[in-house]
Amino acid sequence: MTTKSILMTGLLALSASVFMLSSCKDSPTENKKEAREDIVAAKEDIKDANQKLQEAASDAANAVVAEREEMIVNLKKQRAEIDAELAKLDAKIEKASAKDKARWQERRKRLAMERDELDAYLKEAGSELKRDWVILQADAKKTMDKISKDLKADQ
């Protein structure tokens, strides 16, 4: 075979392949129908994703509300503990000697300041937050832990 006949045979085979492949394509009407179906499916996927996003946002908001309510309960509980301790200190101060009286008055002053800190956290937690909730929560927990240790000490 000559080079010319090989080239002609190859060209003929290539032409036949292109003709056969092009005849397998969908018609323009079928292509449009598939495109419409793809668009409808994509819109449904977007709708589902938006629904899931709204549910997640709602769940997150509910979790923050629950955490806030729990923190408020804990702050009020610890505030009541401080009030009870202050009442005990008042009784001790009345009966104490001058030396002990100064010590108990100093403790009372410190506990009153800690109670004021709790009041500030209560006020902030019960209102529109001006700072990040996570930071407020961490600060309040740190203060409550410090106060808890202080209440257990010097009794």
CA angle 111, 89, 138 (to 5 degrees): 20
DSSP state of 27: P
For residue 19, the model assigns a pLDDT of 54
**pTM (2 decimals)?**
0.63
For residue 21, the model assigns a pLDDT of 52
Asked whether the CA dihedral 108, 111, 117, 119 is positive or negative, the reply is negative
Asked whether the CA dihedral 12, 13, 14, 19 is positive or negative, the reply is positive
Q: Are the C-beta atoms of residues 125 and 75 closer than 8 Å to each other? A: yes
Please report, in tens digits, the pLDDT of each residue of the chain (155 residues total).
Answer: 677 777 667 656 656 665 555 555 567 788 788 888 888 887 788 888 888 888 888 888 888 788 888 888 999 999 999 999 999 999 988 998 888 888 899 999 999 999 999 999 888 887 776 678 788 888 888 988 888 888 887 65
